[in-house]
C-alpha cells in the first residue's frame, strides 16, 4: 500500500466531569487524529499523548511535529508500506512511541479495511465481548468517592480502579471495601510513591486488591522488585512498560506479576501483541489500559483486549463514562461487557457532524510535498 497523503487533525471533546490523577486534572480531552489515504483505501489512527508532557515525555504538539518532520517523510519515501513494516521503518527515529503508534494504527486500519478483516481477528482475538472496568479519579472527599463508585457499580461495571496518591490511599480504599464488600478492586498510583513509602503501601495488603498499579517511578524497576517482595498485593507495571524488551526486563527482575498494556504507550498494537505473548509465556497476567481515548482508540483497545491473555477486566468502559458525545458511534457497555468490533479495520469511523464541531485544527501532508 502506497500512502499518498496524511491528514493531521486535532480535536477537543468535553469531559462529563473533571478527571483527577496525581498528574493533574483534565476538563477536556484533546486528541490528535491521523488519517492516511492510499489509492484505494483510508485508515484512522489516534495519538494518546496528552496536551502536556506529564504522563510521559510526549505531548500532542510534539507528536504532530515529529510526524510531520520525520515519521511521515519516511513512510512516503518507502513506497509500498505494510503495517507490519511500520515499526521497523520508523525505528531510526528514537522514542516518540505514541506518535509511532498512531501512524501504525492508521496504516493497519487502512490495510484491514481494504482486506475486509477486523482488527480483533488480525491481532488474534478469541472472544466477541470483553469485561468492562472503570477508573475512578481522586475525589474531594470520601463520601463523593463512595457515591461515584456506587453509581458505576449500578451501571454494571465489573471492576473498580481507584486512583491513589500520598494522603489519598488507605482510608479511601478502606471506605470502598467497607461500603461495597468483596467487589473486584484495584488501585493505580501513577508513580506517585517512593520505595521509602513501602510501609504505607503495604497497608493496602489488608484489602485483598487485585493489584497495585505503578506505585513507583517509571525507571525504578529494581525498586519495584524490592517492593514486590514486601507486598502480598500483586505489583502491576504501567508506565515502566514501554516495549516488549522492557517487559522482559521487568519480568526477569521480578518487578511485576501483572502488566497493564497500553498500545499507544508501547509503540503500537503489534508491539502490544508481542508483550501479551511474552507475558502469557511467562505466566504474567495482562490487562488492557486506557488513555481516555475517543471512540477510535477505544474500539482498537477493545479488539486488543479480546486476546486470550487478557484475563483481568480492562479500562474499556463505554463512551458515556467520559463523554456526553463521542466522535464515533458510542461504545456501549451492557451487563458489564462491551462488544468487540467486527467491522473491517478498527470497526469505528468518525461521524462527520461530530468531527466538524470538535475539530480545532487540521492540515494535510502529501507524498508530493
How far apart, in Å, are the Cα atoms of 275 and each of 31, 53, 118, 257? 25, 24, 21, 14
Count CB-CB contacts under 10 A for residue 94. Answer: 5
Count CB-CB contacts under 10 A for residue 85. Answer: 14
Q: Which three cell numbers stand for residue 303?
A: 479488539
3-state secondary structure (DSSP) of residue 75: helix
Task: Tell me if residue 262 is catalytic.
Answer: yes
Q: Kind of pairing, strands 3-21 and 359-366?
A: antiparallel
Residue 13 to residue 328: CA distance in whole angstroms? 12
DSSP 187-209: EE-TT---GGGHHHHHGGGGG--
Asked whether the CA dihedral 349, 354, 360, 362 is positive or negative, the reply is positive
SS3 letters across 11-36: EEEEEEEEEEECCEEEEEEEEEEEEE
Residue 259 to residue 274: CA distance in whole angstroms? 13
- Residue 32 · residue 47 · CB < 8 Å: yes
Q: Which of 163, 229, 356, 362 is catalytic?
A: 163
Residue 233 to residue 210: CA distance in whole angstroms? 7
Task: Tell me if residue 100 is catalytic.
Answer: no
Max CA-CA distance within the chain? Answer: 63
Strands (E) across 197-256 are located at 212-213, 235-237
Strand order from edge to edge, sheet including 42-47: 42-47, 24-38, 3-21, 359-366
What phi and psi, each to the nearest 5 degrees, are found at residue 105?
Answer: -60, -45
Q: Which of 100, 262, 356, 362 is catalytic?
A: 262
- Residue 34 · residue 106 · CB < 8 Å: yes
Count CB-CB contacts under 10 A for residue 312. Answer: 21
- Residue 74 · residue 93 · CB < 8 Å: yes
* Catalytic site positions: 163, 262
Amino acid at each position: 500500500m502506497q500512502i499518498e497523503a496524511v491528514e493531521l487533525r486535532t480535536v477537543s471533546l468535553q469531559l462529563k466531569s473533571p478527571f483527577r490523577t496525581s498528574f493533574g486534572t483534565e476538563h477536556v480531552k484533546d486528541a490528535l487524529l491521523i488519517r492516511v489515504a492510499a489509492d484505494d483505501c483510508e485508515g484512522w489512527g489516534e495519538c494518546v499523548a496528552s496536551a502536556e508532557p506529564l504522563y510521559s515525555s510526549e505531548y500532542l504538539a510534539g507528536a504532530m511535529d515529529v510526524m510531520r518532520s520525520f515519521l511521515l517523510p519516511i513512510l512516503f519515501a518507502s513506497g509500498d508500506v505494510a503495517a507490519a513494516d511500520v515499526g521497523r521503518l520508523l525505528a531510526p527515529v528514537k522514542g516518540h512511541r505514541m506518535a509511532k503508534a498512531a501512524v501504525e494504527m492508521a496504516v493497519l486500519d487502512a490495510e484491514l479495511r481494504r482486506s475486509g478483516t477486523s482488527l480483533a481477528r488480525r491481532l488474534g482475538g478469541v472472544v466477541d465481548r470483553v469485561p468492562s472496568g472503570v477508573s475512578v479519579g481522586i475525589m474531594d472527599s470520601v463520601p463523593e468517592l463512595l457515591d461515584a463508585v456506587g453509581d458505576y457499580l449500578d451501571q454494571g461495571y465489573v471492576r473498580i480502579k481507584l486512583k491513589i496518591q500520598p494522603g489519598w490511599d488507605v482510608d479511601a480504599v478502606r471506605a470502598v471495601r467497607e461500603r461495597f464488600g468483596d467487589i473486584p478492586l484495584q488501585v493505580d498510583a501513577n508513580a506517585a510513591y517512593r520505595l521509602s513509602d513501602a510501609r504505607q503501601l503495604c497497608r493496602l495488603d489488608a484489602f485483598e486488591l487485585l493489584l497495585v498499579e505503578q506505585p513507583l517511578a517509571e525507571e525504578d524497576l529494581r525498586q519495584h522488585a524490592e517492593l514486590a517482595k514486601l507486598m502480598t498485593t500483586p505489583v502491576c507495571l504501567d508506565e515502566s512498560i514501554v516495549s516488549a524488551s522492557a517487559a522482559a526486563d521487568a519480568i526477569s527482575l521480578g518487578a511485576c506479576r501483572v502488566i497493564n498494556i497500553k498500545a499507544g504507550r508501547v509503540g503500537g498494537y503489534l508491539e502490544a501483541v508481542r508483550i501479551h505473548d511474552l507475558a502469557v509465556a511467562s505466566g504474567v497476567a495482562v490487562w488492557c489500559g486506557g488513555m481516555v481515548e475517543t471512540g477510535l482508540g477505544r474500539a482498537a483497545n477493545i479488539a486488543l483486549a479480546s486476546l486470550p491473555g487478557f484475563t483481568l477486566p480492562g479500562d474499556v468502559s463505554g463512551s458515556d463514562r467520559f463523554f456526553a458525545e463521542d466522535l464515533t458511534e458510542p461504545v456501549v457497555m451492557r451487563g458489564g461487557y462491551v462488544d468487540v468490533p467486527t467491522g473491517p479495520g478498527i470497526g469505528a469511523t468518525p461521524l462527520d457532524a461530530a468531527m466538524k464541531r470538535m475539530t480545532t485544527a487540521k492540515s494535510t501532508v502529501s507524498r508530493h510535498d
